[in-house]
């Protein structure tokens, strides 16, 4: 029992030193390669702690080797700027002045609901609150907000051609009202990338491959 405690303490101290040397990004927003190395270090640390038959030095050497690899990648990123895009990726502009860029979303394995969730986490509750929105290389969401925000919570009625019946009922909008709205826009539901509505009946409407529009719809409920 004492041996296991000592081995665990040594691995813990080694990990603490390595993580401090690797910098603050390891405890904040990580780049993809940093995330992979962190996972590998965690796995390597578990092996000698779980199995006392494995020499402790094997675990320590493996962890140090991962640290050296991290430093090599970091230096390549620092000295050869094109390597940064290869190793870490590039920011992806997903919202422009024309609306949501569906191609960029799919390229990053995201959909409209993921984007809206990221916006809410960043403090934007309406798609029309920002001029531009992008995902950084580390996966965080950044935006250039408009001078005047709507200050109203928007709910999604149509997401990638799919109707959200629960939100439709919450807004007090009947299916007939929605169908009439789509007819006025000469749009079929499957062709709609996103449609949201806020408590004032203000609609953010975008068809696939087209710029968004700000329209109005009669809502029975205000929120």
Read out DSSP for 120-163? HHTT--SGGGEEEEEE-TTS-EEEEE-SS---S-EEEEEETTEE
Does residue 154 form part of some domain? yes
Same domain, 107 and 168: yes
pTM (global) more than 0.75: no
Does residue 79 form part of some domain? yes
Same domain, 114 and 72: no
Same domain, 76 and 47: yes
Same domain, 67 and 118: no
Q: How far does CA 194 lie from the centroid of its chain?
A: 18
Instruction: Say if residue 56 is exposed, middle or buried (CB neighbours under 10 Å; 0-12, 13-18, 19+).
Output: middle
Q: Whole-angstrom Cα distance, residue 121 to residue 65?
A: 37
Which CA distances in Å does 35 have to 25, 32, 67, 115, 117? 10, 5, 13, 22, 22
Same domain, 48 and 148: no
Which of 8-17, 106-115, 130-139 is predicted with the least confidence, judged by mean pLDDT?
8-17
Condensed to tens digits (0 to 9), the pLDDT of residues 97-129 reads 999 999 999 988 899 999 999 999 999 999 999
Does residue 69 form part of some domain? yes
Does residue 221 form part of some domain? no
Domain that holds residue 30: 2-87
Condensed to tens digits (0 to 9), the pLDDT of residues 48-96 reads 766 777 777 777 787 788 778 777 777 877 777 776 666 667 889 999 9
Q: Whole-angstrom Cα distance, residue 218 to residue 172?
A: 9
Q: Whole-angstrom Cα distance, residue 33 to residue 172?
A: 47
């Amino acid at each position: 029992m004492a041996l296991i405690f000592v081995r665990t303490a040594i691995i813990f101290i080694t990990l603490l030193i390595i993580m401090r040397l690797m910098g603050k990004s390891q405890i904040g927003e990580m780049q993809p390669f940093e995330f992979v190395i962190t996972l590998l270090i965690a796995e390597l640390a578990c092996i000698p702690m779980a199995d006392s038959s494995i020499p402790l030095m094997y675990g320590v050497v493996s962890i140090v080797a991962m640290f050296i690899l991290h430093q090599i990648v970091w230096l390549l990123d620092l000295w050869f700027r094109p390597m940064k895009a290869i190793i870490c990726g590039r920011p992806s502009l997903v919202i422009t002045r024309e609306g949501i860029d569906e191609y960029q979303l799919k390229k990053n394995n995201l959909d409209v609901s993921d984007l809206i969730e990221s916006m809410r986490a960043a403090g934007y509750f309406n798609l029309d609150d920002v001029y531009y929105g992008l995902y950084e290389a580390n996966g965080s969401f950044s935006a250039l907000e408009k001078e005047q925000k709507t200050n109203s919570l928007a709910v999604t009625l149509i997401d990638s051609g799919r109707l959200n019946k629960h939100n439709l009922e919450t807004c007090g909008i009947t299916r007939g009202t929605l169908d009439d709205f789509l007819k006025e826009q000469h749009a079929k539901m499957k062709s709609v990338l996103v449609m949201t509505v806020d408590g004032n009946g203000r609609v953010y409407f975008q068809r696939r491959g087209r710029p968004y529009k700000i329209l109005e719809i009669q809502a029975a409920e205000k929120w």
